Amino acid sequence: MELKEVLRFADEKVFSTTGKHLDDLQEAILKEVLQGRKYATKVAQDRDCSEGYVRVAASELWKILSKVFDEDVTKVNIRAILERAKFYTNFSSSVVSDNITVKNINICQERARSPTEPQNPQQTSKKPHIDLGDAPEIFSFFDRTSELSSLENWITQEHTRLIALLGISGIGKTTLSLSLIDRIKTQFDYVIYRSLRFSPTLDATLTNLLQIFSQQSEIPQNIETKIAQILDYLRKNRCLIVLDDVQMLFGSGQLAGQYKTGHEDYQLFFKLIAEVCHQSCLILNSWEKPREIARLSKDNHPVRCFVLGSLGEAAKEILNSQKLSDEETWSTLIDIYQGNPLWLEFTATLIQDLFGGRVSEFLQCEMPILDEGLQSQLSQPFGRLTQPELAVMVHLANQPEPVAVSQIFNKIPFSPSEIVNAVRALGNRFLLEAIEEEKITLFSLNPVLKQYVKTQSS
Ligand SMILES: Nc1ncnc2c1ncn2[C@@H]1O[C@H](COP(=O)(O)OP(=O)(O)O)[C@@H](O)[C@H]1O
Ligand SMILES: [Mg+2]
């Protein structure tokens, strides 16, 4: 949406509620904030007043807008709230996207309704319909406190419609999403978890979801109607849906995040979930970043990416539960294995089996040692790499220090464009570490991946 259009819309809404238009100062603040800029300095300079004065005016403005839109408005969420509200007001009966028209969805046209406000307030009962399918049972869950509260905030406060929960295999995406479900399930009408590990077609996934929503009623044949019905359910009910193992929709031997033949229509479905107005949230777990996510989140849609990292100190609980000894050396072990819970579980079992649980004795071996199970885990993402990606990995595995992309040019038999695209794809598969050093981005492999690549290429 154009900036001018958003400003005009905000002004109209304020006028219709308060009977007053936005004044020049309020409009100037809004203009800066909507462009993602730090407003106080710029507005104060332009208007020759103090930053403090502008901040007070801004805080008054957020109060007015909170009243107008009936939810907490801040500089962080104002754009999303305005766009969503405008969408509610404008949206008519069809959504046209990527050459497919989803007809008669009848989205959000009844009245401008806040997505937090269920159509029938009784629908958000304390007893949601929960269908977790074949989700693994979680026996122990450590920490992830800040991750859980960020995700909860995005879903319940910011009404994010599409979240990509990303990170290398074993880092804890499935576990975290199930724990999140447990934490916030009572705020939903429907809570659904499905794994896409067998790469179902979109048609099969939609049918599966519709069976949960519609119970006994007949499922339509036509995929357009299926999509329209799902969107209708997401609009009328507050639903939390986790689709796990989304990486299984992507092909191998091509750059990261590209859909396999026959699965391309997921892209449109995810786009509609992000763009169409509804009150639900879809979480996609994947160890490859879906291509459209980056674009959608840049376009100011309520879409977010969360890249899950090390479990940190809490990983000691894993070592503790596996009854390892030499606690003073656990931090070293966690660092080497990147705080990846699965890598640590494999390694802890190995230490228990061969070293009587003594971590210091294990650490005397040349590090890192890769357990067979860990190697087989890594073989999955590695089996998908393109030739240029493999060459970049092998090159980086043999570098003692991080290197810039330009330092890889001419070192492997691929063109600069191929190398740049390969580095980016490896980033989207979470196989590279990037650090900023004196205005240069340097890339390297973590010790586990380095060791794995060396073992495979020797
Ligand atoms: N926060 C956590 N606390 C305890 N164990 C965890 C935690 N996160 C992950 N794990 C364990 O690590 C392993 C891999 O986690 P999983 O969620 O399957 O990773 P991913 O889905 O990213 O591949 C599982 O055995 C899981 O029990
Ligand atoms: Mg998983």
Enumerate residues with CB within 5 Å of ligand 2 (an ion).
Answer: 173-174
Is the CB–ligand 1 distance for residue 166 below 6 Å? no
Contact 77, 67 (CB under 8 A): no
User: Looking up tokens 């920490």, which residue turns up?
Assistant: 143
Range 147-168 average pLDDT? 95
Give Cα 104 distance to the centre of its chain. 30
Strand partners, 444: 433
Instruction: Say if residue 243 is in the same domain as residue 184.
Output: yes
Instruction: Tell me which residue of 87, 89, 219, 193 sits closest to 132, measured CA to CA.
Output: 193
Give the residue, by CA position, lying nearest to ligand 1 atom 11: 341
Q: Which of 89, 106, 140 is the last residue of a domain?
A: 89
User: Looking up tokens 């596996």, which residue turns up?
Assistant: 322
Instruction: Say if residue 115 is in the same domain as residue 195.
Output: yes
Instruction: Tell me which residue of 453, 349, 431, 434 sits closest to 171, measured CA to CA.
Output: 431
Residue 131, classed as helix, strand or coil, is strand
Give the residue, by CA position, lying nearest to ligand 1 atom 5: 141
User: Looking up tokens 């004065």, which residue turns up?
Assistant: 53
| Whole-number pLDDT of residue 3 | 79
User: Looking up tokens 């009854």, which residue turns up?
Assistant: 323
Range 391-399 average pLDDT? 96
How far is residue 393's CA from residue 32's CA, in Å, rounded to a whole number?
Answer: 43
Tokens of 113: 């309704």
Rounded (5°) CA angle 119-285-168: 160
Q: What are phi and psi of 193, to 5 degrees?
A: -125, 130
DSSP state of 306: E
Strand partners, 284: 164, 243
Instruction: Say if residue 286 is in the same domain as residue 247.
Output: yes
Domain of residue 271 covers 94-307
Tokens of 430: 């979470």
CATH of the domain at 142: 3.40.50.300
CATH of the domain at 403: 1.10.10.10
Instruction: Tell me which residue of 10, 2, 27 sits closest to 89, measured CA to CA.
Output: 10
| Whole-number pLDDT of residue 115 | 40
Tokens of 373: 């199970």
The 10 Å Cβ neighbour count of residue 205 is 19
Instruction: Say if residue 278 is in the same domain as residue 356.
Output: no
Q: Does residue 200 come out as left (phi exceeding 0), alpha (psi in the -120 to 50 range) or beta?
A: beta
> Positive or negative, the Cα torsion across 20, 24, 25, 30?
positive
Q: Which of 288, 307, 326 is the last residue of a domain?
A: 307
Tokens of 43: 């507005």
Cis-peptide, bond into residue 121, ω within 30° of zero? no
Is the CB–ligand 1 distance for residue 290 below 6 Å? no
Is the CB–ligand 1 distance for residue 140 below 6 Å? yes
What 138-142 contacts at long range (C-beta under 8 Å, 24+ apart), as own/partner pairs, is 138/175, 138/178, 138/179, 140/317, 140/321, 141/175, 141/179, 142/311, 142/314, 142/315, 142/317, 142/318
**Does the pLDDT of residue 111 top 70, yes or no?**
no
Instruction: Say if residue 231 is in the same domain as residue 348.
Output: no
Is the CB–ligand 1 distance for residue 178 below 6 Å? no
In which band, very low, low, confident or very high, does the pLDDT at 92 lie, cut at 50, 70 and 90? very low
Model pLDDT for residues 139-150, shown as the tens digit of each residue:
899 999 999 999
| Whole-number pLDDT of residue 203 | 96
Tally of structural domains, the chain = 4
Global pTM value: 0.74
Is the CB–ligand 1 distance for residue 144 below 6 Å? yes
Residue 79, classed as helix, strand or coil, is helix
Ligand nearest to C-alpha 168: 1
Instruction: Say if residue 113 is in the same domain as residue 244.
Output: yes
Reduced DSSP (H G I as helix, E B as strand, rest coil) percent helix, strand, coil of the chain, to 5: 50, 10, 35
How far is residue 39's CA from residue 34's CA, in Å, rounded to a whole number?
Answer: 9
How far is residue 416's CA from residue 387's CA, in Å, rounded to a whole number?
Answer: 14
Give the residue, by CA position, lying nearest to ligand 1 atom 15: 172
**Does the pLDDT of residue 235 top 60, yes or no?**
yes
> Which of 342, 344, 346, 380 most suits a substitution to test ligand 1, by most atoms within 8 Å of the C-beta?
342
Q: Which of 307, 326, 356 is the last residue of a domain?
A: 307
Contact 25, 54 (CB under 8 A): yes
Q: How would you classify the pairing of strands 303-307 and 129-131?
A: unpaired
Range 128-149 average pLDDT? 93
Give the residue, by CA position, lying nearest to ligand 1 atom 8: 172
Distance 274 CA to ligand 1 centre (A): 27
Residue 70, classed as helix, strand or coil, is coil
Instruction: Say if residue 106 is in the same domain as residue 226.
Output: yes
Model pLDDT for residues 316-369, shown as the tens digit of each residue:
999 999 999 999 999 999 999 999 999 999 999 999 999 999 999 999 998 899
Rounded (5°) CA angle 376-380-381: 130
DSSP state of 89: H
Residue 283, classed as helix, strand or coil, is strand
Question: Is 436 exposed, middle or buried (CB count within 10 Å of its CB: 0-12, 13-18, 19+)?
Answer: exposed
Is the CB–ligand 1 distance for residue 362 below 6 Å? no
> Which of 175, 247, 248, 307 most suits a substitution to test ligand 1, by most atoms within 8 Å of the C-beta?
175
| Whole-number pLDDT of residue 216 | 66
Distance 174 CA to ligand 1 centre (A): 7
Instruction: Say if residue 287 is in the same domain as residue 177.
Output: yes
**Does the pLDDT of residue 88 top 70, yes or no?**
no
Q: Looking at 80-84, 163-167, 262-266, which range is the least confident one?
A: 80-84
Residue 319, classed as helix, strand or coil, is helix
Instruction: Say if residue 276 is in the same domain as residue 142.
Output: yes
Instruction: Say if residue 120 is in the same domain as residue 261.
Output: yes
Contact 62, 33 (CB under 8 A): no
Which atom of ligand 1 is closest in space to residue 344's alpha carbon? 12
Contact 228, 102 (CB under 8 A): yes
Rounded (5°) CA angle 67-71-76: 105
Percentage of the chain exceeding pLDDT 90: 63
Instruction: Say if residue 161 is in the same domain as residue 301.
Output: yes
In which band, very low, low, confident or very high, does the pLDDT at 429 lie, cut at 50, 70 and 90? very high
Is the CB–ligand 1 distance for residue 311 below 6 Å? yes
| Whole-number pLDDT of residue 109 | 34
Instruction: Say if residue 363 is in the same domain as residue 237.
Output: no
How far is residue 160's CA from residue 406's CA, in Å, rounded to a whole number?
Answer: 38
